[in-house]
Structure 1
Amino acid sequence: MSETGSIGAVIVAAGRGERAGNRQDGPKQYRSIGGRAVLARTLEAFRNNPQIAKTVVVIHRDDHELFTRAIEQTDGPGSLIVVEGGAERQQSVLNGLEALESAKLGHVLIHDGVRPFVSNELIDRVIGTLQSGEQAALPVIAVSDTLKKSEAAKHVDGTVPRSGLYGAQTPQGFSYRDILDAHRAAAEANKSDFTDDCSIAEWVGLPVALIDGEPENVKLTTARDINVADEKLTFATAGTHLPDVRTGNGYDVHALVAGDHVTLCGVDIPHDHGLSGHSDADVALHALTDALLATCGLGDIGDHFPPSDSQWAGASSHIFLEHAAGLVAENGGTVMNADVTLICEAPKIGPHRADMRSKLAEILGIAVERCSVKATTNEKIGFIGRREGIAAIATATVIYRSNPNG
């Protein structure tokens, strides 16, 4: 299918996805949902459509290893063309379009790599609209929420009538030569403020036909989006079987010594003492690390980061928790909840609780409402009551798609 009139696809997956949080398993397009990378699911939708002759995937120059692992979860590279993206999405799309120039295409579909729930029916609907003679096709969802306008983002300045307003989705379809020329013209004019490919088509005067989008065709933007998608696929796979829910507990204690601050849940808190330990002695993250490891039977923090190893001297404990979360993900787990109780006479935890919860959410890549931090005193009893140390108890809840480690 290389003759004029065939159809190509450009899958854009070169973004960094900062709003989804930083994780060792990479940007959001490589996060696991239902046991497979987001990008693997997106690519499969286009590669399984018999009308798509050529598919280009545009990735970041630092992501070749991540992409290789993701593509192993599909039917293999096949006819995929892999190119590197630019600093902005617009440049990435242009790179992808130019990689198809020798294929003699009639039409091309451009799709976000983080929209993994695109259906075969929607792809066919976009293609059918192009084949009917339209130069561009845009799937949309009518806006149903009341829209408010605010210049300073503090108070409402007015209500925007929602009649005739639509939310744009992808894949957006075009006459191949028209959209390639439009992108080149935008680059030559140094215009880089377009928010999607149809806005570039509009700029050069191409008519854009609206077609029905799909509510399920969501763009995964935040860590919460990814977790919701993972839960959806996890339970869909489980069918009528009970989900494999695991709960792990962890406990840690460190002595108080001379110092000027303590680190708890990754947050530095001014204090008239410090915590003694080989690393930064963050009892909360240590306990939570053990709780996560317990859900898949992989020992405790000392097995992975022995205190006898000098490389961990003074290390930030977020390294330990990220490692445990990564092992959970590798074994098919999704962290659903993290709960930490700090036991100390001082410092006061309340003023720092919000920052602590945010830090846990950032490290684990889950929504902040799934992270709990509580504190209690020991009623001046024992070593904690005498302010000789601080202890932490942690509980983690994880859903597994299959038996961990096998």
Structure 2
Amino acid sequence: MSVQSIAHVGNYSYLPAVLKENQDGWYIEYYAQNPQTGEMKRFRTRMNKAVKRFAKKSDAKKYCLDVVARLNCKLLDGWNPFFEGEDSRLYVTLTDVSELYLKEMKKELRPDTMRSYSTYANMLLSWVNAREPGLFCSLFNSAKATRFLDYIYNERNVSARTWNNYLKMSRAFFNWAVTKGYAKENPFNKFSLKKKEKKERTTIDADTRKRISVYLEGKPFLLVCMLVYHSLIRPKEIRNLRIQDIDLRNHSIKVAGEIAKNHNTRFCAISPQIESLIESLGLMKYPQNYYMFSDVETMSPGSKKLYDAKFTKEWAKLRKALGLPSTMQLYSFRDTGIWNMLKSHVDDLSVMQHADHSSLDITTIYANHYDPNLVKIINENTPEF
């Protein structure tokens, strides 16, 4: 076999078919690459029976050369004899399948979720291509899945929560691959989720909230904190709010389903304190289609959505300035709001709906935070023995 004559098409290599003759008669010979081993295998097809129906040798040879030409056209188009009886999709690389998956998911997922899936895909492909470049999706087995998950947990040193998220995305990707015919089974199905660590967030007491109000007086970020605390709007959802979502007449803000975490449109209550801040910031003077928070420096409204990490950076700056513990996070306002509503005897169902929770169990989990005044409350309100 001449290396120089090897042809390549897509992910496969082959040696074009030729007509040969030996003492046993004519035969067609070609080589094709085994997609699993990468080795070239020789194929021969005897033509003795086919040429018997021709009276002239020249006609028989012409027929054989025509078969050779048609066979080479098939090889050039990507046909491979190893695909006979199997779906050719089983021999598509993991890289190509990943691109197809992300392209399809882009139509279904929100931008924030899409970024997470893209990050996951890049990590998976980087890990695979560093070890087995050009690996077929169908050959990514449970042993490789084990090593990949170990790499994420041990070498990248992620939390159990993050590891669980990667496992869920891996399952989703390979479920899609199986459905589309790119894999025969999901190599991640045998793995169980790790036990999550308890969320390290504490509630934000009234004195601290007062200090934050003074520190942020007149600034848009104070409105962000209030919306998380009173309106129970998630920070990621707040980034997507527009001026048109504010309804001062009905004392509410609309969180549309397309920007909500659980895809449910809801109308969140806004307090007189929030309405006063909205007016003092002059938000209602801006065009209705402007984002409530846009400018990178001032966070004033604008036509462009604020970048992802802006709220996180602002909170880190505030926490450092006021000397707050790391367990006090921006999201802690939401926990605190839920907790205070329940303590104030707002009924559970109303709190669940306001918080956009799927069940009361979740509302209870979010409300289950350490209360620094718990001992005092119990001692003052429990009858003596």
Give the greater-gyration-radius structure (CA): 2
Higher relative contact order (CA 8 A, sep 6+): 1
If the TM-score is normalised by the length of the shorter chain, which range does it land in?
under 0.3
- TM-score if structure 1 supplies the norm length? 0.26
- TM-score if structure 2 supplies the norm length? 0.27
Which one has a larger percent strand, Structure 1 or Structure 2? 1
Which one has a larger percent helix, Structure 1 or Structure 2? 2
